[in-house]
């Protein structure tokens, strides 16, 4: 079969998996929204609700080992088992709630379990794309993943609210979520995901899970361009989280109704959908590193717009632009990593990569509240230190200090982008590091006989 035909076949296989995962993601979005409402109603505690968000980072604790296990086994088997595990979590919540026995601590356990399962599922998904999709289509495939997440963000909350009214209870959403996992599992059974070809680096440390888990870190550390890119994202994540967490309180400080708050927050999903669609349609900027650095610089403009005035138009424009850029940045970076890491090493490398890039996220989240309450807000209340100066330009009142926090924060993404551009190891990472993946999907090993006998139609010749 020609390279072009193989590429089309691979994209068809990926699209089949993507459709199944999209349906499953929507079901999970329904459950996430419904259980958030349930925890707040049950506990009447913002602290207990916040703990459910913190527990979504549980998977970071096992990330290196998850990556090693992903590389040891079939990507397809890993994805199927992860979907089965998540389905059982939803089923457990459904049965407990139906019997009136569900407690908040049950939700904590399920959130932590799903976080761990996602730590296995994410690197397996990205590594599977490498085996199915031509290298020049990585950006499109990654854009489709971003687009799917955005569509879920937009559709899940209103759909969940409607279904609660129509079906008479949260427990029905859990049952729907359980059923949607079968679409994801069936889509995986319909395609063949070849096992990656063996590389010398991928065979290092075999037979020792501890050594295999460390390989991902060693691979990144030995490639200064990838390490620098990783630290670039850790810095961006830190400042984005500081401002992102404070967005809702700032909007509530000047909005006249919940509908206005909802309008601003809806820009998150709409922006991600637009950005993901652009990536899926075009594959992103070339070179891809320009998509990373350019969006980082754009973030500074977004922060300035968001903090400039207590204006629904300006804040909505800033949020929309930010979330249009985010999938382009993420998809461009993802494509770089997919091309530079050997396929049989991607589970380990991607798991460690995600852990390092996101370790600043909880730090930024926890820093946001104290910075807003103790530092910035007191400056712009009536009679505050800056009320008669900067306050005349950006406004004075409840949570207007957060606007100032956005404006100050706008300095940092631009500085990070400039430093990244001035660093040749980042700017030339695509040129200087050799590609580990050929232009067409790599000719991997066939799936194990037990999997091939399951009746899947082969995706490639």
Chain segment 3-41, per-residue pLDDT in tens: 443 444 577 888 999 999 889 888 888 888 778 777 767
The chain-wide mean pLDDT, for the chain, equals: 83
Per-residue pLDDT, averaged over 411-422, amounts to 96
- For residue range 323-335, what is the model confidence (pLDDT) as tens digits? 999 999 999 999 9
| Alpha carbon distance 11, 128 (integer Å) | 12
The CA distance from 78 to 86, in Å, is 12
Residue 320 has pLDDT above 60, yes or no: yes
Minimum mean pLDDT among 189-193, 364-368, 397-401: which range?
364-368
Distances (CA, A) of 360 to 232, 331, 354, 380: 11, 20, 11, 28
Q: Which CATH number fits domain 3-195+204-452: 3.20.20.70, 1.10.645.10, 1.20.1250.20, 1.20.1730.10?
A: 1.20.1250.20
Are 379 and 396 in contact by the 8 Å Cβ rule? The answer is no
> Is the pLDDT confidence value at 304 over 90?
yes
Give the pLDDT mean for 311-338. 93
Q: Is the pLDDT of residue 199 over 90?
A: no
Query: Which has more confidence, 164 or 180?
Result: 180
Asked if residues 166 and 415 have their Cβ atoms less than 8 Å apart, the reply is: no
Q: What does pTM read for this prediction?
A: 0.78
Per-residue confidence (pLDDT) for residue 163, from 0 to 100: 77
In the chain, what are the domain boundaries? Answer: 3-195+204-452
331 and 139 in contact (C-beta within 8 Å)?
Answer: yes
Q: pLDDT > 70: what percent of the chain?
A: 88
Q: Give the distance, in angstroms, between the CA of residue 289 and the centroid of all CA atoms in the same chain.
A: 19
């Amino acid at each position: 079969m020609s390279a072009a035909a193989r590429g089309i076949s691979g994209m068809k296989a990926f699209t089949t998996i993507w459709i199944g995962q999209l349906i499953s993601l929507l079901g999970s979005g329904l459950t996430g929204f419904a259980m958030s409402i349930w925890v707040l109603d049950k506990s009447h505690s913002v602290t207990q609700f916040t703990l459910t968000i913190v527990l979504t980072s549980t998977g970071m604790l096992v990330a290196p080992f998850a990556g090693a296990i992903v590389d040891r086994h079939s990507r397809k088997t890993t994805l199927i088992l992860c979907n089965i595990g998540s389905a059982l979590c939803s089923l457990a919540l459904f049965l407990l709630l139906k019997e009136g026995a569900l407690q908040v601590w049950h939700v904590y356990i399920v959130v932590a379990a799903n976080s761990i399962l996602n730590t296995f599922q994410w690197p397996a998904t990205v590594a599977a794309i490498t085996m199915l999709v031509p290298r020049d289509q990585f950006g499109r495939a990654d854009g489709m993943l971003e687009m799917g997440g955005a569509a879920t963000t937009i559709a899940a909350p209103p759909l969940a609210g409607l279904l609660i009214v129509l079906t008479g209870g949260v427990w029905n959403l859990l049952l729907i979520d359980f059923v949607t996992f079968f679409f994801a599992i069936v889509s995986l059974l319909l395609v063949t995901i070849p096992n990656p070809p063996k590389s010398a680096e991928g065979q290092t440390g075999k037979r020792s899970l501890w050594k295999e888990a460390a390989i991902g870190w060693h691979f990144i550390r030995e490639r200064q361009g990838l390490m620098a890119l990783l630290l670039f994202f850790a810095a961006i994540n830190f400042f984005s989280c500081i401002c992102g967490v404070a967005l809702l309180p700032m909007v509530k400080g000047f909005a006249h109704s919940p509908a206005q708050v909802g309008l601003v927050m809806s820009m998150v999903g709409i922006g991600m959908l637009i950005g993901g669609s652009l990536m899926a349609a075009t594959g992103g900027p070339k070179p891809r590193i320009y998509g990373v650095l350019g969006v980082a610089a754009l973030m500074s403009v977004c922060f300035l717009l968001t903090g400039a005035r207590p204006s629904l138009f300006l804040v909505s424009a800033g949020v929309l632009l930010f979330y249009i850029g985010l999938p382009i940045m993420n998809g461009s970076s993802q494509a770089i990593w997919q091309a530079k890491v050997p396929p049989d090493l991607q589970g380990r490398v991607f798991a460690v990569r995600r852990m390092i890039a996101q370790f600043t996220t909880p730090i930024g989240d926890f820093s946001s509240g104290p910075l807003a309450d103790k530092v910035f807000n007191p400056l712009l209340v009536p009679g505050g230190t800056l009320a008669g100066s900067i306050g005349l330009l950006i406004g004075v009142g409840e949570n207007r200090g957060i606007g100032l926090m956005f404006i100050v924060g706008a300095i940092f993404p631009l500085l990070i982008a400039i430093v990244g551009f001035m660093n040749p190891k980042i700017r030339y990472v695509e040129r200087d590091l050799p590609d580990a993946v050929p232009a067409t999907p790599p000719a991997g090993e066939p799936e194990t006989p037990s999997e091939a006998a399951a009746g899947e139609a082969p995706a490639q010749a």
